[in-house]
Structure 1
Amino acid sequence: MTELEKQCKRIAILTLVLLFLYMLITWVIPKPNDLLTIHVIDVGQGDSILITTPSQQSILIDGGDPTQGQRVVSYLKRKKVKKIDVLIATHPHADHIGGLSAVMDSFEINKLYLPPVTHTSQTYENFLLKAQQHQLPIQPVKDAFSITLEDSITLHFIGPLKDYGDNLNLWSIVMKLDYGKMSFLFTGDIEKEAESDLIREYKKSFLASQFLKAPHHGSNTSSTSGFLDIVNPDIVAISAGRNNLYGHPHTEVLQRLQERAISYYRTDQQGTIVIQSDGQQIWSHQEPYFSNK
C-alpha cells in the first residue's frame, strides 16, 4: 500500500468516527428543546409547579400562598418564561392560589382553569378580582377533557369527578400529562375519597404514571396504598414547608412509598425539584431524598 493510499484510509476512518459521534450527539443524547421539564418550586407549605414543553409552552399549576407570589414570579423569569399558556388553580385554598395574583400581574396568560367551587376567603376574592382585572378567559373544570399542547404532549383534566360539598381539598383539579411513553400525574390536595373515585372512574392502565406529585403535601389523608398501587410511580415529588405545623409529609406516607421502593423528593429538605423527560425516560440531576433502587 502506497503512502497516499494509507493517508486516504486514515482520512476515511476519521470521517467514519466523526460521523458516528455526530449521530450520537444528534440522535441519542437528548437536546434541550426535546425535553419536558417539571419544576416543583419550593414555596414553603404550599404548591407551585412549572411545566415547560419542548416548544417552550408554559403551564403553571398553583402559586403558593400570598407571601410566595414574588418568589414564583422571580423563578419563572429566571427560567425565561415570557407568557403562561395554561394557568391552573387547583382549588381555592390560600397555599395554592394566594401567589397567583402576583403571577397574573407579571405575565400574559392565555387561559385560566378553575374547579367549579367557590370560597369566601379574602385571598380567593382577591384572586378572582385580579383575574377579572386582567380579563382572563376562565374555564371551570366541570367534566373530563383533554387538550393537545403539541404533537406528542396531551394534558388530561380528569378531576374533580363529583360534588364534594365543603371539602375544598377534594375539589382539586387533577391532571395527567402524557409525553411520548411517559406520564405525569398532578393531584392538588385530593384525599382518600377523591383517590378512590379516580380508581373507580379510570382504568389502571390510564392512571399509571412514572411521576406523581404527592397529594396534599404528603398528608396521611392521601397517598393511600390502593392509589399508590394503581398509579405505581417511579418518582414522587412532595411539596411541603420545612418544619411546617402539620407535620407534612407524614411518616405513614413515607413508609408506604419506601415499602414500594418508590423514589421521592422533598421540597422541605431539598428545595426546588427539577425533573426532565424526553418522552422515553424520566430523570433528575438531583439525587432523590429517598431511593433504594
Structure 2
Amino acid sequence: MSSLKNVFYVQAGLGVLANMFLLFFYASIIISDRPKPMDLISCQLTFIHIMMIITEGDNLLANILESLKFGNDIKCKTTFYINRVMRGLSICITCLLSVVQAVTISPSTSFLAKFKNKVKTHINYVFFCLWSFNLLFGSRLIFYVSGFTNVSETHQMKVTKSCSLVPMNYIIRGFILTVAVSRDVFLVGVMMTTGTYMVIILFRHQRQCKHLHSISHLRASPEKKATQTILLLVVFFVVMYWLDFIISVTSTLSWIYDTVVLIVQKLVMYAYPTITPLLQITSDKRIISTLKKLHSKFY
C-alpha cells in the first residue's frame, strides 16, 4: 500500500513540474507572439492537468484549505468539484486538440479544409462553451459530496480520506451516469475518428514521398511530428480513460470503494497528465531549442 502511494506521489510531482514548465512556455508564446490555435489549446491543457493533480484527494489544494481553517465539508466540496470539472475539461480539450490538428493537416481538397480559417476566429468561443458546460455539469457534485463522517452509520461511499459521496436516488444516479457516459463516449468517438483520419493522411503523405524521393532523404516535417505526437496522446488517453471508466463504474454501481482500488485508479487517471507534457516537451522543436539555449547559457 505505502509503495503504491509513493509511486503516486512521484508521478504527481513529476506531472506538476512538467506541466508547470509547459504552462510558462506556452504563456510566454501567447504573451509575446501571435499564438497558433494549437498553442492556446496546449496552454489550457497544461493548466487543466496541473489543477487535476493538485486537487486529487488530500493533495496540495486540500492541505491549503485546511491550513486556512476551512471546514472539512467545504474543503471536500471544493476539491472534488474542481477535480471533476478539470477531468471533464481534460477529455474535451484533448478531443479539441485532435480535431484542430486533423483540420490543420487536411488537404486543400478535403471537406475539413474550409474550417482552417474558422478555427482561428472561433477557437475562443469553443473554449467558452466547453468551460461553461463542464462548470455547470460539475455543479451537481456539490449536492452529492460531503466531508467524510462514518460509512457504517450514513452509508456514505468514501472516495478519499476525508471525502465521501452521499447516497442518491437510483434514477438520479442513472441519469448522471448516462449523461457523463454519453458525453465521454461521444468525445472518445470523435478522437478515434480524427485519429484514424490523421493516420490515413500520414500514410498517403508517406506514399507520395516514397514516389518522389528516396527513403534515405525523407525528413519528418514539423506538422508530421506534431501529428504523430497528438496521435500518441489520443491513443494513450483512450486506453487510460477506459481503464479509469471501468474502475469508476464498477465502484459506483456496487457503492464500494476499496483503498487499494482508489490508489490504482489514481495511478491510471494521472498517467495521462504526467505523460502528456513529457511527450510535448520531447517533440516540440521550439521547446528543445529553448532548453538547449538555457543549457548553453548556464554551462
TM-score, normalisation: structure 2: 0.25
Higher relative CO (Cα under 8 Å, sequence separation at least 6) belongs to 2
Larger strand fraction of residues: 1
TM-score, normalisation: structure 1: 0.26
